Structure 1
Amino acid sequence: MKTEKIKKILVVMLGGIGDMILLTPALKALRKEFPESHLALLSEPDGAKEVVEGSRLVDEIILRDKGFFKLLGSLRRKRFDSVIAATGMNPVKTGLLALFIGAKHRLGEDIKGKGYFYNLKINYDENLHEVEGNIRLVERLGLKVEDKSLFIRITEEDKESASNFLRSQNIKEDNLLYGIS
């Protein structure tokens, strides 16, 4: 595939904060490969956008906070030439969205044979970690992904809020903390 012709990319990630974090290695690879391209992210308005907001990973965050047809019209006017649906996204919905907005390159996973609206696809592998699934998607464009580290944007305000919370719980700086998710 001739990636030099890709100028406007829309990545669709309609999951939560954890899913967004697991998408960041693929976003970093896209940004590295397409530094001059406009990279937009379609996200839910419920907080996942904060993971990449203010970073250089994406140029624009588009929230899915409009009705479906208003969203389609808005995306169509932006003239994306490529749409990439993150791993696990519904292939019928995201494939149709990519088709309706006029994207020439429509990349996503073929889940249970339902990826028919994609013209670039990979087979979904439920045994694959989400990070690896997203990396496989961008590798389908011919990219080589070397940095698989996750990105989490932490602001000074975030650090101060965490420090205040720990102090309010009588937890001192030299205490050992364990995090369980």
Structure 2
Amino acid sequence: MKILLLQLKRIGDLILTTPAIAVLRKNFPDAHITLAVSNECAELLPAISNVDRVLLARRNLRDVAMVSSVAGKRFDYCIDFTRNDRSAFLTLLSGARRRVASYRVREQSKTRAKVYTDLVGVRVRDMHTIDYNLALLEPLGVRAASSAPQLELPRTAREKADRLRRDWKIARPYVILHPGSARPEKLWDAARWAEVIDHFREDNEFDLVLTSGPAAHEQTHIAAITHRTRQKFIDLSGKTDLLTLAALVGQAQLLVTVDSAPVHFAA
């Protein structure tokens, strides 16, 4: 059996797809599972298990090779977790005899809906994203209870996190404050972040660790926060890769963040 999974959204969306991937592997241990993801998720891939092959969608001419791989494989099943024009095109090329998506695709485009053989009666706004992704497996005869995301961090990520804690003298239990997000519209007001950070002055039992991604808009946001706070903290913003950050989050006593990848790491 050959199964194609299309998850072309962001890092958080891929993390929330891992329970569905794990359930597929449990139910079809001998299946060949191919996972297509966006290039933005490449850094997360070493922690994704239970797949045999990964295809990267880069939105450039290099996608010709990926498209050829999909078209030449002749899959048995294709599950589209993304539900956009690009994923519908790949679904069509897959040649799968069963092509699955949410019924919501019909409301977006009746033409695009014709690509699919199975439209499952669920929509993500009515349930947790993990449960939504699991529900899309029903045409394969799979029903599963909700479960936590499954990431297998490589040893190198844990070693980098340990080294950062030593180098920055994080010896006590610590709290991570992660104001950053890849999407600027998700950033919280800098003055309010400063209030949250200053609130921790009342508790000296923890080290405060500030993290974020390296993007310019995130670094500008961090600078605005640090300008407003009087509290001392350890600034690791822009100093970790994605999986090292996941390892740091895994050992933290508390994570305070917005809707971004670290909140899924904490799960």
State whether TM-score is above 0.5: yes
Give the direction of change, closer, same or farther, for the CA distance of 1:139–1:101 in structure 2 (3 Å limit): closer
Equivalent in the alignment of 1:29: 23
Q: Using structure 2 for the length normalisation, give the TM-score.
A: 0.58
Matched, 1:158 2:234: no
- Counterpart of 1:14, as a letter, is L
Contact kept? 1:51, 1:153, Cα under 8 Å: no
Give the direction of change, closer, same or farther, for the CA distance of 1:167–1:54 in structure 2 (3 Å limit): closer
- Counterpart of 2:128, as a letter, is H
The separation in 2 between residues aligned to 1:55 and 1:92, in whole angstroms, is: 25
Percent identity between matched residues is: 26
| Greater Cα offset, 158-167 or 31-40 | 158-167
Match of 2:254 among 175, 178, 181: 178
- Counterpart of 1:73, as a letter, is S
| Greater Cα offset, 119-128 or 171-180 | 171-180
SS in 2 for 1:19: helix
The separation in 2 between residues aligned to 1:17 and 1:52, in whole angstroms, is: 10
Q: CA deviation at 1:23?
A: 0.4
The separation in 1 between residues aligned to 2:21 and 2:144, in whole angstroms, is: 10
Alignment of 1:112-151 (within 5 A): 112-114=107-109, 115-123=113-121, 124-146=123-145, 148-151=147-150
The separation in 1 between residues aligned to 2:85 and 2:54, in whole angstroms, is: 22
Structure 2: where are the runs of 5+ without partners?
A: 175-205, 207-252, 258-267
Match of 1:76 among 55, 68, 71: 71
The separation in 2 between residues aligned to 1:156 and 1:180, in whole angstroms, is: 25
Question: Larger Rg: 1 or 2?
Answer: 2
Equivalent in the alignment of 2:91: 98
SS in 2 for 1:35: coil
The separation in 2 between residues aligned to 1:105 and 1:132, in whole angstroms, is: 21
Equivalent in the alignment of 1:4: none
The separation in 2 between residues aligned to 1:39 and 1:13, in whole angstroms, is: 13
Structure having the higher helix fraction is 2
- Identify which of structures 1 and 2 has the higher relative contact order when contacts are C-alpha pairs closer than 8 Å and 6+ apart: 1
The separation in 1 between residues aligned to 2:147 and 2:34, in whole angstroms, is: 20
Matched, 1:107 2:100: yes
The separation in 1 between residues aligned to 2:75 and 2:169, in whole angstroms, is: 51
Match of 2:34 among 35, 40, 45: 40
The separation in 2 between residues aligned to 1:167 and 1:62, in whole angstroms, is: 37
The separation in 2 between residues aligned to 1:121 and 1:49, in whole angstroms, is: 29
